[in-house]
Amino acid sequence: MGELPEISERGVLYPRRLPPRFQRIPATGPVGELVVWWWIAQWNEPLGSVSRQDLLPFPGCNLVVERDMVGFAGPTTRASHRDLVGSGWAVAALLRPAAVPAFASGPASVRDSYVSLLVPELHSRVAEAVAAGDFNDAVARLSAWVTARVGPVTDEARLANALAEVAGSDSSVVSVGDLATALNVSQRTVHRLAEQYIGLTPHALIRRRRLQEAAEHIRSEPGVSLSTVAAAHGFSDQAHFAREFQRFLGQTPREYRGASEHYS
C-alpha cells in the first residue's frame, strides 16, 4: 500500500510515538455513511521493548481486526493508552453512529470497554489479505463485511451521523442548544440520538472536540501561551481549561506541553 496523505492526527496525543506504519484512510462511496475512516497499524517492537500509544479518542466506536482477534471498542470517556509489544497489526474502522446499533444495541453499555466479537469468517478474510501484504484488499474485505452487517441506512441514522459530524467539527457549537439548532431538531431529540447511536452525552461530544483541538494546538505551537489556547477553544478561563484538561487527559496542559516537546 502506497503512502497516503495523513488525515489530522487529532486524538493521537504523541504522534511521534506512532508505529512506522500507521494510516488513516477516508472511507469513500456508500460505506462512507457507516465509517469515518479506516485505520491501519503494523508494528514490530524489539524484544523487551514497549511502545505506549496515548490517545484521546474520537467519541465513537471502533471495529478492529487484529492478528489474534476481532474487537469492538466502545466509546471512551477519557484518555486511554495501548502498549504495543512484539509484532502485530490492526485493520480497523472508526464507525459512524449509523453503524453502531448493528454491533451494540446500547453503546453506553460498552463505554471504555474492548470486547471480543466471534466473527471468525471476518477475521480469516482480513488476515488472509494481510498475510499477502495487501492492506488495500484487507480494507476492501472489511468494508464489504461492515456494509453487509449494517444493511440499509435509515433517515434517523443519517441524522445521528450529522449530529456527530457537527459536534466534532463545528467550533461555533458550544452547547446542546447549538447542536439542536444546527440540526433543526429539539434538544430532546439530540439527547436521544446521542444515547442510542453514540453512547455519550451531547455535551461530552462537544467537550471532546474542544480538548482534542486544544491538545493539537499545544503540540503544534509549543510557544503559545496556555491562556491563548484556552480562549481559542472556548474555555471561560485558563483555570477552567486546566481543570478540564487534567480531568480527561490525566495531566495538566503544562505537563502535556513538556511531554510533547520531549517526544517531538
Residue 263, pLDDT score? 67
pLDDT, tens digit, 9 for 90 and up, residues 107-127: 999 999 999 999 999 999 999
Residue 151, pLDDT score? 97
**Cross-strand partners of 37:** 26, 94
Long-range contacts formed by 5-10: CB under 8 A, 24+ apart: 7/37, 8/216, 9/216, 10/212, 10/213, 10/215, 10/216
**Cross-strand partners of 49:** none
Residues of the chain with pLDDT under 50: 1-6
Residue 1, pLDDT score? 33
CATH class of 155-262: mainly alpha
Predicted TM-score of the model (pTM): 0.91
Residue 3, pLDDT score? 34
